[in-house]
Amino acid sequence: MREMNTEARAAERETAGAAVWLHGAVQLRKAFRLGPLNLEAPVGCVTAIVGPNGSGKSSTFRLLLGLTAADEGEIRLLGERVGDGLDDTELKRRMAYVPEEDSKIEASLRGTSQAEFVSAWYPAWNQGEFERLLREFEVEPSKRLGKMSKGMRRKFELALALAREPELLLLDEPSSGLDPLSWRKLVGELHRYMERGRHTILMATHILDEVKRLADYIAIMADGRIIGVYEKDELLSSWHRFYVGPGLGGAVSEGDVADLPGLVRAEESGGGTCRVVTSRAWEAEGWCRERGLPITGQRALELDEIMEQLIRQAR
């Protein structure tokens, strides 16, 4: 049995339930500071990292994979510490990573040879599942990887990752280059993977529909930092735009809604109404009702609008 000191036990307790655990991770570069990053991606859930170009999503993946080193902080994957030159061979066998850019090194290999190599390395490799995925994605594995189209190569890499039956799947822009039909199939396959066991996905994506369909949690990144981690349904249901007024007391001004719960912005919008954005829709509704302020129009904000507001607040 593995010997553990008190500190290791405490860390294990703390990270139990988190497949990806980042605590105060910082990487300093000449022109960019990544972190401090704090993130707990729960086991059995899909966590999507979203954020503008250059916010640090791919850099975070490289840090998690130990491809680059953290200058500060601690990183654990599936409860195991990564970095500091630690031997992560066994850990890597329990996970799969599909990077944003396909490797050029393997371009001359045929898909079949690459699969043979990978299957020998991963104990949970499922050949039947691999062949099913290739059929589903309509990928011809006898082609050389460098001769596959961008979308085809991506589907090959995704099939290769899923067939390993990893406990943890790290995906950087998984649907980059996929046509709409392939994209729908991928979303279906990722759902299937999540249903098949105690699996976890951490993915970076720009496709908001992908986030809506797949994610349980959303981590928003901006300027090298994770500015917040949110439960998706809660986030999407709590941000609303209201039109308030006019009330019995006449026109509603910005000042009248200054204490509205979760108020993010308010502007007079003509006809005695005020347009407000709130991050606490239920409470804001009740607040208006109590004050006899009629809500004459209302809609939930889209994820991109919420992200824009949260990033603005964080800067």
Ligand X SMILES: Nc1ncnc2c1ncn2[C@@H]1O[C@H](COP(=O)(O)OP(=O)(O)OP(=O)(O)O)[C@@H](O)[C@H]1O
Residues that bind ligand X (CB under 6 A): 29, 32, 51, 53-59
Helix (H) or strand (E) holding 288: helix 281-290
Beta strands in the chain (DSSP E): 18-28, 33-42, 46-50, 72-77, 80-81, 95-98, 168-172, 200-204, 217-222, 225-231, 240-244, 263-268, 274-278, 295-300
Show Cβ contacts of residue 22 under 8 Å, excluding neighbours closer than 6 positions: 37, 38, 39, 40, 60, 64, 73, 74, 75
Q: Which is nearer to ligand X, 103 or 253 (CB)?
A: 103
- Beta carbon of residue 315, minimum distance to ligand X (angstroms, whole number): 16
Shortest Å distance, C-beta 225 to ligand X: 11
Tell me how far, at minimum, the Cβ of 58 lies from ligand X, in Å: 3
Q: Where are the beta strands (DSSP E) in 68-191?
A: 72-77, 80-81, 95-98, 168-172
Least distance in Å: CB of 92 to ligand X? Answer: 21
Nearer of residues 115 and 303 to ligand X, judged by Cβ: 303
- Closest CB to ligand X among residues 51, 83: 51
Q: Which is nearer to ligand X, 164 or 225 (CB)?
A: 225
Write down the least CB distance from residue 101 to ligand X, Å: 10
Give the nearer residue to ligand X in terms of CB position, either 55 or 182. 55
What span, in angstroms and rounded, lies between the C-alpha atoms of 110 and 102? 14
Nearer to ligand X, 99 or 294 (CB): 99
Closest distance between ligand X and the C-beta of residue 182, in Å? 20
Write down the least CB distance from residue 275 to ligand X, Å. Answer: 31
Return the sign of the alpha-carbon dihedral for residues 164, 55, 305, 244. Answer: positive
Torsion of CA 209, 213, 216, 222, to 10 degrees: -10
**36 preceded by a cis bond (ω within 30 of 0):** yes
CA Rg value for the chain: 23
The beta-strand segments (E) located in 107-216 are 168-172, 200-204
Nearer CB in complex with ligand X: 58/269? 58
